[in-house]
């Protein structure tokens, strides 16, 4: 079985945001898969995806502050500056984390660890709505 859906996420402020529920809502066919894979792809160059701690919001704050130190705004070394001071750092951060995730599926559920959740990393101050393509491939349950 192959299923592909596009999900539009509401605009979020800069930072890391749990979107596991958005993903699950966006692909209800997941419940029909015995064994498979879900590929989640972000259609933007200034936002990214990661799987990380889902319980403590402090982790999301620390991830944001760490990336801000790695790719600071207003770095004089940047040549791409036409779209504002947060744009080039956003591209660097998105490249570090990546635009996609592949998650195992078993028994109609994502195979995630107890404290793991899917996160959208919004790297712009005003990134706007974000789109995800969800591609599910697997063996249908009987």
**CA-to-CA distance for 120 and 51, rounded, in angstroms?**
9
pLDDT in tens, 74-104: 999 999 998 999 999 999 999 999 999 999 9
- List the domain range (segments joined by +) for residue 93: 2-140
pLDDT in tens, 116-131: 999 999 999 999 999 9
CATH number at residue 94: 2.60.120.460
Could you tell me what percent of the chain has a pLDDT over 90? 96
Radius of gyration of the chain (CA): 16
Q: Report the number of distinct structural domains present in the chain.
A: 1
**CA-to-CA distance for 83 and 69, rounded, in angstroms?**
20
Token pair listed for 125: 């101050």
**CA-to-CA distance for 122 and 129, rounded, in angstroms?**
10
Residue 11 CA from chain centroid, whole number: 13
Token pair listed for 70: 């790695």
pLDDT band, very low/low/confident/very high, at 36 (cuts 50, 70, 90): very high
**CA-to-CA distance for 75 and 42, rounded, in angstroms?**
26
**CA-to-CA distance for 93 and 71, rounded, in angstroms?**
7
């Amino acid at each position: 079985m192959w299923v592909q859906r596009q999900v539009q996420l509401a605009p979020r402020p800069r930072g890391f945001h749990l979107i596991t529920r958005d993903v699950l809502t966006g692909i209800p066919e997941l419940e029909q898969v015995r064994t498979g894979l879900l590929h989640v792809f972000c259609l933007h160059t200034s936002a990214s995806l990661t799987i990380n701690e889902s319980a403590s919001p402090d982790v999301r704050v620390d991830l944001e502050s760490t990336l801000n130190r790695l790719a600071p705004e207003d770095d004089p070394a940047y040549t791409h500056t036409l779209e504002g001071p947060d744009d080039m750092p956003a591209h660097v951060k998105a490249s570090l984390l990546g635009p996609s995730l592949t998650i195992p599926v078993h028994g109609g559920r994502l195979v995630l660890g107890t404290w793991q959740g899917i996160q959208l990393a919004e790297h712009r101050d005003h990134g706007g709505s974000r789109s995800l393509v969800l591609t599910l491939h697997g063996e249908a349950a009987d």
